[in-house]
Amino acid sequence: MVSWNNQAVPAVAAAMRNAFRSLAAFKIVLLTATLSGYAATGQLAGTVIDANTGATVPFSTVQIVGTTLGTVADSAGSFTVTVDAGTISILATALGYQPRVVSDIVISPVRPAVVRIVLIPDAAVIAERITVRPDFFDRATDAPLSTTSQSAEEIRRLPGGFEDVVRAISIVPGVAQTTQGRNDLIVRGGAPSENLYLIDNIEVNNINHFGTQGSAGGPISFINLDFVDNTTFSAGGFGARYGDRLSSTLAINLRDGRRDRFGGRATISATRFGIDAEGPLGERGSFVVSARRSYLDLIFRANGFEFVPEFWDFLARAELEPTPRDKFSLLAIGAINNVRLFNDEADDRFDNSRRLDNDQNQAVTGVSWRRLLGSGFITTTLSQTFVDYEFTQRDSLLTPFFVTESTELDIALRVDGQFQVSPETELWFGVQGKIQRADGDLLLRDFADPYSDFTDTFNIEQPFDTTGTKLAVYTQLSQRLGSLTLTAGVRGDYFSLIDAEPEVAPRLSASWEVASPIRLSVSAGRYYQAPSIIWIAANEFNRGLRQMGTDQVVAGIEIRLRDDTKFRVEGYYKDYFDYATSIERPYLVMANSGGDFGGSEEGFASFGLDSLVSAGEGRAYGVEFFLQKKLSEIPCYGQMSLTIGQVEYAGIDGIYRDGSFDQRVIFNIGGGYIFNERWEVSTKFQISTGRPYTPFEADGSRSIERYNSVRLGPSHALDLRVDRRWFFGGWVLTTYLDLQNVYARSQPEIPFYNVRTGQAETEDGLGLLPSIGITAEF
């Protein structure tokens, strides 16, 4: 789904409804098929791994949850078992390790389900001869709080999620969204730019089609979910391994290709179609490739819309294990995004004058080497990310007043080590280096700030070419003392493009298992983030900035109600300092930018054209409640979250104002039921209070005195999804029907000023949005 401002939302909805009608006939034909007599089975294969050393765990026991079926891994920690088709969970146990349950494994008759089970060593299991409850939930030693892991299947079946790894995060506590047409992550009040994305250990600034330069959001991710193994999201309190971001981390781990034979998949949905292929590379490797294209451009143009978006994305990945101790993986991702504007009529030219034309090409490449070294492992990753941006905005006479053509290039090398020093002690360390370059041309002509308090206009016409380096080093140590686990770490970050010394960030966490079902945890630490390179390239004055920082404290309690069900309560406080803020526009703190497509209606803020100083402050605080049930022998799953929080920032004028993404209350509930190997239904309901905005005066201006003083009304929607699988002899057909915003409520949107009518107006929000997906796997 693609959007360039609020006007695009109803257009996208109409286009997708037309796509729904065109695919419905094929769906009806499939529903009449009578194939229920086919008994399908598939292969489950996997490897059991030690979480601390990366070595395999031999002779571990693997059992299918809810059945008597199981097997024992061989001396290399590998296993294979034949299982009935459907969605299952497995339990892995081994002497000296905590039992682990892996849920949401889809067994298909055409492709083996390959799992990697990571077991956490636990000396108490042997020394104290105790029985440990099986763990359905991943838990990182250095991030005992605010962490949620999702499998690819959990992401895929989320209603209204468009099978997007970023949108799937919106249901977890502490996360808000800016608009329906975008997937920006607003984590505990932080800006969209404060989130770190890693794909197979490669840092990528923005993983979205039509991404916002200087920020990290967009309409939809370019990550192909077909090749995702799992994701791990941390909303705060993460360890020293990760840095250069203030709010959160999202680590996306891709899966290996199949090693038994060549196979593939073809998919068509309401927004795009694509084809995947995968297979073996010799006896010790595999590959995956995919290509996808949107066809919204065909639908938009056929319906006479004045703008036509089009995007492609490509993925290729190969992995090779030349020895049992070495594993190499190579990754290449590309995305092509462009939009055509049709200005045949005066109304078309007026509507398009509000749009920032956004064409961009993106490329991510990298190679990673993981080497096992007895009691631990070292991972070395070399990567390059490249984005070619072209932005243009024209007035209703088609005269351009904002034009920028630029490229951003990052070349990065990182080495990470993890070792088990003793049965109770773990050590992490790492070094990271990055070369960053931004070059291009910028034109901004006679742009007046919409706030009536300022009369100056922006006139900029300049080329830019900026190159700098980032360096980081970290270490952390985790020590278990009975039921108490302590983790201490420190991280240093340096950025050559700013006139500031390296910053040092200490972090500490503690987790205490009070009793078998109850765990108390607390973390405290300092986090730094360098200014976006486009802010510095676009305005040399901004070299005087310092790294932005926040001090965070998070505390929580987790209660295991059942092996597959947990309840968590957390409270957090974030104290921001040295945030970049504008001299020309004293109300503007960069934390309030980047949540849209960055055009004139947002004051081009995310590009960092202003003269910025490190004088901004902020504070965010709140409490979160989270209840989650994983799929188990009870064939249902679900989660419920409630976030109550507040965020406010002060610019150079020192006045604290509500943050632009401040949503005080957010409630989510969702879940589903698997009837059998063929049918599954899921639903999701979200409601949140409105975020603040600045109202227009009668003359179309805005007053700084009323900055973010008015709030939108509450937003709420119900989504529903039904999945159906058909098993044929040599292939599987999977279909789904997804209904977003079932009761067709028009969600509140921030008003814009219509210079033709002389009034503030709002666009219609997204109504009922049905979509159908069809996937054939062979």
**What DSSP string describes 2-44?**
--SSTTHHHHHHHHHHHHHHHHHHHHHHHHT---TT---EEEE
Percent above pLDDT 90 for the chain: 79
How confident is the model at residue 28, as a pLDDT?
Answer: 42
**313-317: long-range pairs with CB below 8 Å, 24+:** 313/209, 313/222, 313/224, 314/289, 314/290, 315/223, 315/224, 315/227, 315/288, 315/289, 315/290, 316/287, 316/288, 316/289, 316/290, 317/200, 317/227, 317/254, 317/257, 317/287, 317/288, 317/289
pLDDT the model gives residue 209: 95
User: Is 50 exceeded by the pLDDT of residue 663?
Assistant: yes
pLDDT tens-digit profile of 413-423? 999 999 999 99
Amino acid at 587: Y
Average pLDDT over residues 35-55: 83
Q: Rg for the chain (alpha carbons), in Å?
A: 26
- Residue 123: per-residue pLDDT: 63
Which is more confidently placed, 10 or 570? Answer: 570
* 156 HSE (CA, 13 A, CB side): 23
113-119 and 41-50 as β-strands: parallel, antiparallel, unpaired?
A: parallel
Residue 4: its pLDDT value, please?
46
**Residue predicted with more confidence, 598 or 277:** 277
Residue 770 has pLDDT above 70, yes or no: yes
Phi, psi of 197 (to 5 degrees): -110, 130
Residue 84 confidence (pLDDT): 94
Residue pLDDT, tens place only, 493-545 = 999 999 999 999 999 999 999 988 899 999 999 999 999 999 999 999 999 99
Burial of 323 (0-12, 13-18, 19+ CB in 10 A): exposed
State percent of the chain over pLDDT 70.
Answer: 93
Sign of the alpha-carbon dihedral angle for 452, 457, 463, 464? negative
For residue 47, the surrounding DSSP H or E stretch is: strand 41-50
Looking at residue 30, its pLDDT comes to: 44
pLDDT value of position 131: 57
Per-residue pLDDT at 267 exceeds 90: yes
Residue 400: CB atoms within 10 A of its CB come to: 12
338-347, 383-392, 679-688, range with the lowest pLDDT: 338-347
Average pLDDT over residues 719-743: 94
Query: Tokens for 684?
Result: 């999701």
User: Is pLDDT at 357 greater than 90 in this prediction?
Assistant: yes
Which amino acid is it at 90?
A: I
Residue 762 above 80 pLDDT? yes
On the question of pLDDT at 1 being above 60, the answer is no
SS3 per-residue string spanning 221-287: ECCCHHHEEEEEEECCCCCCCCCCCCCEEEEEEECCCCCCCCEEEEEECCCEEEEEEEEECCCCEEE
Residue 350 DSSP one-character state: H
CB atoms within 10 A of CB 10: 15
Q: What are phi and psi of 18, to 5 degrees?
A: -65, -40
Handedness of CA 563, 56, 373, 128 (dihedral sign): positive
Residues 450-469: pLDDT tens digits?
775 555 677 899 999 999 99
**Residue carrying structure tokens 């605010």:** 146
pLDDT of 15 strictly over 80? no
Q: Report the pLDDT averaged over residues 130-134.
A: 66
Mean per-residue pLDDT for 647-672? Answer: 97
Q: Which residues pair with 764 in a beta bridge?
A: none
- For residue 343, give the amino acid letter: N
Question: Is pLDDT above 60 for 126?
Answer: no
Of residues 733 and 456, more confidence is placed in 733
Check pLDDT > 90 for residue 143.
Answer: no
Closest CA to 55 of 119, 11, 144, 139: 119
Residue 767 confidence class, pLDDT cut points 50, 70, 90: confident
3-class state of residue 62 by DSSP: strand
Q: What angle do CA 294, 295, 299 make, to 5 degrees?
A: 145
272-280 and 263-268 strand pairing:
antiparallel
| Of 39-43, 379-383, 479-483, 544-548, minimum mean pLDDT range | 39-43
Tokens matching residue 525: 């630490």
pLDDT at residue number 178: 84
Write 446-450 long-range contacts (CB < 8 A, 24+). 446/401, 447/401, 447/402, 447/600, 447/604, 449/584, 449/585, 449/603, 450/603, 450/700, 450/701, 450/702
Q: Do 27 and 735 contact (CB within 8 A), yes or no?
A: yes
Q: What six digits make up the tokens of 84?
A: 């009935």
Confidence of residue 7 (pLDDT cuts 50, 70, 90): very low
Average pLDDT, the chain: 91
Please report the pLDDT score of residue 410 as a whole number.
98
**pLDDT band at residue 449, thresholds of 50, 70 and 90?**
confident
Mean local confidence (pLDDT), 624-652? 97
348-354: long-range pairs with CB below 8 Å, 24+: 348/306, 349/396, 349/397, 349/398, 350/396, 350/756, 351/7, 351/306, 352/306, 352/307, 352/394, 353/393, 353/394, 353/395, 353/396, 354/5, 354/7, 354/599, 354/600, 354/601, 354/752
Q: What is the DSSP string of 114-139?
A: EEEEEEPB-HHHHHS-PPPPPB-S--
pLDDT tens across 286-305, in order?
Answer: 999 999 999 877 777 777 78
